[in-house]
Amino acid sequence: MKYDICYCFNIVNKQERVSLYQRFCQLDRTAKGFISSDEFMSVPEFAMNPFAEKLLKMVDGLNFKDFVAFLSAFSAKASIEPKASLIFRVYDSNGNGKVTFNDVIEVLSDMTGSFMTAEQREFMWFDTNDMTFTFPLHDDHSSSTETFKKQMMNDIG
C-alpha cells in the first residue's frame, strides 16, 4: 500500500516524515492504509500511557496524514494551539465539545489512579485552580473548546 508522504507539514520536516512513514507502515500490519486501535496498543509506550483509552478514541483508524498531524501536536516545534486542541480532546471524554468539572476529575483520576481518593482529587483541583489555572466555566458549568484553548494560551503562552 502506498501512502502520500509528499503532503506538506509545517512542523515535520521531510526526514521526520520518512521516519514516521516507516513507523506507520510497521504499525499498519494489515496494510489497509490506517492504524487500528489494536495496532496502536502494540506500542508499549502507548499501551502504558494513563490516557491510552482516551487517546485510542482519537487515533483509531488514522491514515498516514492524520497520523502525522496527530503526532505533530507532541512536537516541540508545534504552537500552543494544536497542543491545546489535543489536551481539550483528552479532557472532553464524551466528545460533546465541552469540558466539565467531572471531565477534569476523570482526567485527574486517570493520572493518579489509586494513589489519590476522589476527595483528594477534588481538593487538588480546587486548590490548584484557585492559584494557577483559571478554568472558565459557562452557565452550565462547562468550558467550550474555544474558551478552554484561549485560557490555556493565556496561562501557558
Does residue 7 sit within a domain? Answer: no
Residues 49 and 88 placed together within one structural domain of the fold = no
Q: At which of 72, 102, 117 does a domain end?
A: 72
Residues 93 and 152 placed together within one structural domain of the fold = yes
Element (H, E) at 65: helix 64-72
Does residue 127 sit within a domain? Answer: yes
User: pLDDT by residue (tens digit) across 14-54?
Assistant: 888 889 999 999 999 999 999 999 999 998 888 888 888 88
Does residue 42 sit within a domain? Answer: yes
Does residue 9 sit within a domain? Answer: no
For residue 64, count CB atoms less than 10 angstroms from its CB and return exposed for 0-12, middle for 13-18, buried for 19 or more: buried
Where in the chain does DSSP place strands (E)?
A: 98-100, 142-144
Given a contact cutoff of 8 angstroms between Cβ atoms, the answer to whether 156 and 149 are in contact is no
Element (H, E) at 99: strand 98-100
Q: Is the pLDDT of residue 94 over 60?
A: yes
Q: In terms of pLDDT, which residue wins out, 149 or 80? A: 80
Residues 150 and 123 placed together within one structural domain of the fold = yes
Query: Residue 106 belongs to what domain range?
Result: 80-156
Output the pTM of the full model.
0.69
User: pLDDT by residue (tens digit) across 103-126?
Assistant: 877 877 787 777 777 777 677 666
State how many domains the chain has.
2
Does residue 1 sit within a domain? Answer: no
Residues 68 and 128 placed together within one structural domain of the fold = no
